[in-house]
Amino acid sequence: MSLTVLGDLNWFAVVVATIAYFALGVVWYAEYAFGRAWQRASGWDLSPPEKVGVTTVLVPLGTCFVLTLVTAMLGAASGTDNIMEGILLGLVIGVGIALPVRFVTGAHDMTKPAPMTFAAIGAGYHVVGLSLAGAILGLWR
């Protein structure tokens, strides 16, 4: 694979998949989903923050973009061209890369009250988010 694959990507699909992946995080980490458990596992104070900085939004959005772009590049290189292949690609990347990275970090992060719970919630988000992004990319290939 070379960087010329960037010219072959459906950039609209990359942007839509990035937004969908990021939006999933808004729901995933909301209090009614995994937010309170994630906050407890991380040791955060459960009171709402007074002010949310711009980096609180831009860093996750940027990482969602990078992960979606890499998924799109791997999809183009592997010939992924439908929704089911896109979901499978997202699952392979999520389970094969994101999940192990989160769990190895969780296994060695003794600064958190429940590091494996923290890692599991984050890993689950990335597995589902990458599958969603893969589905969108495969659908609009």
Written as one letter, the residue type at 70 is V
Angle between helices 55-78 and 115-139 (to 10 degrees): 50
pTM tops 0.85: yes
What is the full DSSP assignment across 39-107? HHHHT--SSPPS---THHHHHHHHHHHHHHHHHHHHHHHHT--SHHHHHHHHHHHIIIIIHHHHHHHHH
Average the pLDDT over 17-28 and give the result: 98
pLDDT of residue 131: 98
pLDDT of residue 95: 98
- The pLDDT tens digits of the residues spanning 69-128 come to 999 999 999 999 999 999 999 999 999 999 999 999 888 888 999 999 999 999 999 999
Domain ranges of the chain: 11-44+53-139
In this structure, the number of other CB atoms found within 10 A of the CB of residue 15 comes to: 13
pLDDT score of 49 more than 70: no
